[in-house]
Amino acid sequence: MPPRAGTSSDQVYEQQNDERLDELHGKIRALRGVTTDIYSDAERQNSQLDNTTNTFGSFTSSFLRTTTNSARTFANTSGIKQYRLTLYIVAGFVGMWILWKLGASHWGRESAGVSP
């Protein structure tokens, strides 16, 4: 049987097709890897959101228990209303903050060699 005239070009085309098929397989593997990474990341984020939701739920219940307990404690104080005690506490913190700021500015001048 005589060889066909297009045999060498057929081999070239088949070789090119094989190369393109290998490239396509590489792209499919890369796409599969990206898809797997996206899925893993989505699962991790869902887990993190669930944990955050549970944490906030726990915080809410703790906060409500604390509020209830403080209301009971404030109600049991002898004659001092809740808002008044809260005002005293806030005023105390503000006063300490002002003293701290004044002291820091005073000590800062002393360390720089400036007298008040």
Helices (H), 1-81: 7-76
At residue 3, the pLDDT reads 47
At residue 71, the pLDDT reads 76
At residue 80, the pLDDT reads 62
Q: How many CB atoms lie within 10 A of CB 83?
A: 9
Both tokens assigned to 16: 């090119």
- Which letter, b or e, does each residue of 57-66 get, where b requires 16 or more Cβ atoms within 10 Å of its Cβ? eeeeeeeeee
At residue 2, the pLDDT reads 46
At residue 76, the pLDDT reads 64
CB contact at 8 A, 109 and 116: yes
At residue 97, the pLDDT reads 92
At residue 1, the pLDDT reads 44
Residue ranges per domain, the chain? 9-76, 79-116
Token pair 């699962």: residue: 43
- Residues of the chain scoring pLDDT < 50: 1-3, 116
At residue 73, the pLDDT reads 74
Q: What is the pLDDT of residues 22-34, one digit of tens each?
A: 999 999 999 999 9
Q: What count of Cα atoms within 13 Å lies in the side-chain half-sphere of residue 99? A: 6
At residue 17, the pLDDT reads 94
0.75 exceeded by pTM = no
Q: What is the pLDDT of residues 67-79, one digit of tens each?
A: 888 777 766 655 6
